[in-house]
Amino acid sequence: MLPVHELSIMQSIFDIIIDNAAKHRLRTITKINVVAGEISGVEPAALDFAFEYFAQGSLAEGAEFTITQVPVTGRCIRCGESLKGIVNLNCKCKEGPEYEMLTGNELFVNTVTGESEG
């Protein structure tokens, strides 16, 4: 069964990839890197599967697809202490669970590499 959530996300990612390939006159795409935060709601294995589905018969068929996962980090709004990890978003100052999330929720196309037209 196809991962519906990741198929929807990959459709958007593929639109970005193909649009960029056209803008840069790429005839083939050889490498794609996507950055996905730890709590972005994306399952890397399912996203990889969705990529293979969309890549068939496209400029990206056979391309190397990588996902760079970014861990959750934050900062306590009250004292400024750096916080890391999903379970560690409670500050030692014990002033409450007020924090600013810095990383871990992002999802974007980082790089697209290919071969240009003649």
Count of C-beta atoms within a 10 Å radius of residue 88: 12
pLDDT band at 99 (very low <50, low <70, confident <90, very high): confident
Share of the chain above pLDDT 90, in %: 64
If you average pLDDT over residues 108-118, what whole number do you get? 90
pLDDT, residue 60, reads 96
SS3 76: strand
- pTM, to two decimals: 0.84
Pairing of strands 107-116, 99-103: unpaired
Domain ranges of the chain: 4-116
CATH code reported for the domain at 4-116 = 3.30.2320.80
Spatial neighbors of 108 by CB under 8 A, at least 6 apart, are 34, 35
Please, are residues 70 and 106 in contact by the beta-carbon 8 Å criterion?
Answer: yes
SS3 10: helix
